[in-house]
Amino acid sequence: MEKRYQVIGMRGAGSLIVEFMLTAMGKDYDISFPEADEMRQAAFRTFNPLGKVPVLICPDGQTICETLAITAHLFEAFPQLAPPVGSAARNRHWQYLAMLATCIYPAYHRQHRTEYYAPDSAFDAVRVLAVVEQAPAYDFIEETLCPFLCGATPFAADFYLYMLARWDLDRDGLLAKRPKLAAFMVAMRTHPAVDQVLAAQR
């Protein structure tokens, strides 16, 4: 029997993109959702020394942590998940991936897990500054969406953007000012892989 991918994740959180990509490629996978306590244990830290999800365990037993690394692994394994190597769109795709991974994702972590970054008295300021940091990235995305990040076809970075924008604490405000992003969110929600994964989370 063909070995399956295994995903270690968190419901509705950072493992969604891994599920979206595997589902889009028609790959069955097993998924587990460790409790916060377990993620602090030494056994889990062998998968990710930072104690975070997602983690991907490949059919050959290799484990990969960090969303960007997992995403790159999957679009190397399944080339349909990214524009062709050597194309301008490939560079553009990497540019968005980097922006999502280094600006938009960490700024959501600061908003949702503010206790890691500051005492209670500074929570509001940390959250406001995180939104301010994200704004130029979201504005750039709004200017350049057409209708997906790299044109007519959604790729891995589109699944990533969709997952992240779902976490916005003021999603109505984010989308009200950005009609192309609002249309993108509707289009991605109806993507068959997204629909299948989200239906299974209920």
Ligand X SMILES: N[C@@H](CCC(=O)N[C@@H](CS)C(=O)NCC(=O)O)C(=O)O
- Interface positions with ligand X (CB under 6 A): 10, 13-14, 52-53, 66-67, 101, 105, 109, 113
Question: Considering beta carbons, is residue 101 or 175 the nearer one to ligand X?
Answer: 101
Question: Considering beta carbons, is residue 117 or 152 the nearer one to ligand X?
Answer: 117
CB of 16 to ligand X, least distance (A): 9
CB of 118 to ligand X, least distance (A): 15
Rounded Cα–Cα distance for residues 4 and 101 (Å): 26
Question: Considering beta carbons, is residue 67 or 114 the nearer one to ligand X?
Answer: 67
Question: Considering beta carbons, is residue 64 or 185 the nearer one to ligand X?
Answer: 64
Rounded Cα–Cα distance for residues 147 and 37 (Å): 41
Q: Which residue's CB atom is positioned nearest to ligand X?
A: 14
Question: Considering beta carbons, is residue 164 or 174 the nearer one to ligand X?
Answer: 164
Rounded Cα–Cα distance for residues 137 and 120 (Å): 27
55 touches 47 (CB < 8 A)? yes
CB of 20 to ligand X, least distance (A): 14
CB of 93 to ligand X, least distance (A): 17
In the chain, the amino acid numbered 169 is: L
Rg (CA), the chain: 17
Question: Considering beta carbons, is residue 115 or 143 the nearer one to ligand X?
Answer: 115
DSSP 107-148: HHHHHHSGGGTS-GGGHHHHHHHHHHHHHHHHHHHHHH-SSB
CB of 98 to ligand X, least distance (A): 12
How far the first Cα of the chain sits from its last, in Å, is 29
- By CB atoms closer than 10 A (0-12, 13-18, 19+), residue 187 is middle
CB of 63 to ligand X, least distance (A): 13
